[in-house]
């Protein structure tokens, strides 16, 4: 993930933005309703120069902020009701970053005092306690997702010989090694979790050297890891999971061959694959029945129900996507360098400038369409920014 620090200034402010509703070119659909107006809110910092916003829910925005020292970055939780940004601290090191929030739980990664290694953590907003999740005998671990009562991620094994995907139970505090398709000595990596039950990732397989790897599905109810295969390709790697759908890409042969990877969708209920073609081979993300991906120039949506592939962009230039959640797609457009929120089902495409009309990036949205991301300040650096539908 992918969590590069964004340098920024320390003053917070609020500005109401009147945003232009644009057509989703290539979709063939004009806006059925005007795109909503948004208000941009600069969330400020923990006293340092910059901050970054990564996730939000109805009550809380989380991310990371520089401290006044200029050499420390700490995870934060911003209360949307009180407008207070709280320093979540670290596990003893200098840096931490909050990557996701679900109700009272914040998950992220933090360095520890010994040797600057990192550990996954869970922070409880009710007790104000940060808990390190540890490792499987190695020196580091990291989180990749949270759903229901479980956190998933990856942890180094004894002697740092490899790493295994894990599931951490928030109720019991027990961290479970999910193993690998190649047994205890193999390597596996978690990508995400859905419905508090299904974890997907990739693993090496017996008798096949790197870079051959297969997508897997781990069921927390049955405690089984299933090899999803490759749909006839050499390797498969998932990149996202939502509901009962896993998406990713397949490599038809070794990466050095020059053959073009294809995107795929896998249905957990029916065990069927859908080849999404070369247009959807770059980091596909799934939300509901919509897949979002690109060929690194044009962004596309693919409807798994109708089989419709549609490019979306506000005009000339490049459209990047960062996330997809609920009915929303979030990303950035270039060369204008503005974040956006897009609704494939209505064609509403709304640019999200930072306060003052400055460059921005959008990273996630809540079910009501509020957006978190990062916005430039007048002096140039970036602050965590919240966009909410409506006027100030």
- Residue 8 falls inside a structural domain: no
In this predicted structure, the answer to whether residue 27 has a pLDDT above a threshold of 60 is: no
Weakest-pLDDT range from 43-57, 122-136, 268-282, 334-348: 334-348
Between 392 and 277, name the one with better pLDDT: 277
* 174: Cα separation from own chain's centroid: 24
SS (H, E, C) 150-186: EEEEEEEEHHHCCEEEEEEECCCCCEEECCCCCCCCC
- pLDDT per residue as tens digits for the range 286-337: 999 999 998 767 889 999 999 999 988 766 678 889 999 999 999 998 887 8
Number of structural domains (the chain) is: 1
- Residue 345 falls inside a structural domain: yes
- Residue 4 falls inside a structural domain: no
Q: Please report, for the domain that includes residue 85, its CATH number.
A: 2.130.10.150
- Residue 342 falls inside a structural domain: yes
Domain that holds residue 88: 14-389
Burial letters for 44-79: b for 16+ Cβ neighbours within 10 Å, e otherwise?
A: bbbebbbbbbbbbbebbbbbbbbbeeeebbbbbbbe
- Residue 306 falls inside a structural domain: yes
- Residue 2 falls inside a structural domain: no
- Residue 90 falls inside a structural domain: yes
- Residue 236 falls inside a structural domain: yes
Tokens of 37: 């107006």
Burial letters for 271-294: b for 16+ Cβ neighbours within 10 Å, e otherwise?
A: eebbebbebbbbbbbbbbebbbbb
Chain position carrying tokens 């929030």 = 101
- pTM of structure: 0.89
């Amino acid at each position: 993930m992918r969590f590069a620090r964004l340098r920024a200034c320390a003053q917070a402010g609020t500005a109401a933005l009147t945003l232009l509703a644009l057509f989703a070119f290539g979709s063939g659909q004009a806006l059925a309703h005007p795109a909503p107006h948004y208000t941009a809110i600069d969330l400020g910092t923990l006293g340092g120069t910059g901050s970054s916003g990564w996730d939000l829910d109805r009550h809380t925005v989380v991310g990371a902020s520089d401290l006044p020292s200029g050499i420390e970055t700490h995870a934060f939780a911003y209360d949307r009701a009180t407008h207070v940004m709280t320093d979540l601290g670290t596990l003893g090191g200098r840096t931490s970053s909050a990557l996701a929030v679900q109700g009272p739980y914040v998950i992220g990664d933090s360095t520890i005092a010994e040797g600057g290694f990192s550990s996954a953590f869970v922070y409880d907003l009710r007790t104000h306690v940060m808990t390190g999740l540890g490792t499987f005998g190695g020196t580091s671990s990291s989180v990749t997702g949270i759903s229901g009562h479980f956190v998933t991620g990856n942890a180094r094994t004894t002697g740092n010989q490899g790493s295994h995907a894990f599931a951490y139970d928030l109720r019991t505090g027990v961290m479970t090694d999910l193993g690998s398709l190649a047994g205890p000595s193999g390597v596996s990596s978690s990508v995400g979790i859905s419905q508090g039950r299904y974890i997907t990732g990739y693993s090496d397989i017996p008798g096949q050297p790197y870079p051959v790897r297969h997508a897997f599905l781990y069921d927390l109810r049955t405690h089984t890891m299933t090899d999803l295969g490759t749909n006839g390709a050499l390797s498969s790697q998932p990149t996202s999971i939502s509901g009962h759908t896993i998406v990713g890409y397949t490599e038809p042969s070794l990466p050095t061959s020059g053959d073009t990877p294809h995107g795929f969708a896998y249905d957990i209920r029916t065990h069927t694959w859908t080849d999404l073609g070369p247009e959807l081979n770059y980091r596909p993300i799934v939300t509901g029945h919509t897949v979002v991906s690109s060929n690194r120039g044009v962004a596309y949506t693919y409807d798994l129900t109708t089989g419709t592939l549609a490019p979306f962009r506000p005009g000339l230039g490049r459209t990047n996507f960062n996330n997809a959640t609920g009915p929303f797609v979030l990303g950035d457009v270039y060369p204008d360098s503005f974040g956006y929120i897009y609704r494939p089902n209505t064609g509403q495409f709304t640019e999200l400038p930072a306060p003052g009309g400055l460059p921005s990036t959008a990273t996630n949205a809540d079910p009501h369409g509020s957006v978190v991301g990062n916005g430039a300040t007048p002096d140039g650096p970036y602050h965590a920014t919240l966009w909410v539908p409506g006027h100030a």
